[in-house]
Amino acid sequence: MLIETIQCKNGKLYNLEFHQKRFDNTREKLFVCRNRIELSRVIRIPDEVYNGLFRCRITYAESIEKIEFIPHVFRKIESLKLITGNHINYSYKFSDRNSLAQLFDKRGACDDILIVQNGNITDSYTANVLFGDGERWFTPDTPLLPGTQRARLIADGEIEPCRITVNNLPKYKKAGLVNAMWNMQNMPEIAIGKISF
């Protein structure tokens, strides 16, 4: 099973174009599905989610199994730990995240992790990562899962993909985390000095 998580704030779905594209691509690649399911038509927003912040979570395979709305509370993230996970493959948003959870459990006293593969920075446990040098923001060109928020920010020219390695981390001043719920206006920002080995 796979999942698609869409931000629903005060009854409005955000970034739906990019979620639709990933949903379509996943169904076509994994299940050879040709029938397009229009998310904007099948998602019915309940009255009780017209006030507040929710995750619209779609569970699917060839067809949609479940659509649910879950109240969202942001985690506080102020520190990151570099964890090597060369064996991890998460190129599709599977509901089974056990391999990622095992890496997350190694974070020690840190709030979250940065997964490293062959010396390259990929993602955190639940987000794509950005790095700022004081003037511009960059994102690794080696993500485990290219997220929808990341795709939008690249398309809008707000961030630029490039190779980011453990060795060149010191050239950046801070890291940021983006996903369906975090954008560049509300993302956690972590000083590079708060990234530990």
Which pLDDT score, from 0 to 100, does residue 22 have?
97
How much is the mean pLDDT over the chain? 97
pLDDT given for residue 131 in this prediction: 98
pTM of the model: 0.94
Q: Is 16 helix (H, G, I), strand (E, B) or coil?
A: helix
pLDDT at 160: 98
Query: For residues 140 and 122, what is the distance between their CA atoms, to the nearest angstrom?
Result: 6
Per-residue model confidence as pLDDT tens digits over 120-166: 999 999 999 999 999 999 999 999 999 999 999 999 999 999 999 99
Closest CA to 151 of 192, 95, 93, 191: 93
Please give the Cα distance from 127 to 189 (Å, whole number): 12
**Going from the N-terminus, what domains does the chain have, and what CATH number goes with each?**
2-71 (3.30.470.10), 80-196 (3.20.10.10)
Q: Which of 109, 149, 108, 157 is nearest to 126 (CA)?
A: 149
Low-confidence ranges of the chain (pLDDT < 50): none
Locate 54 and state its tokens: 């929710």
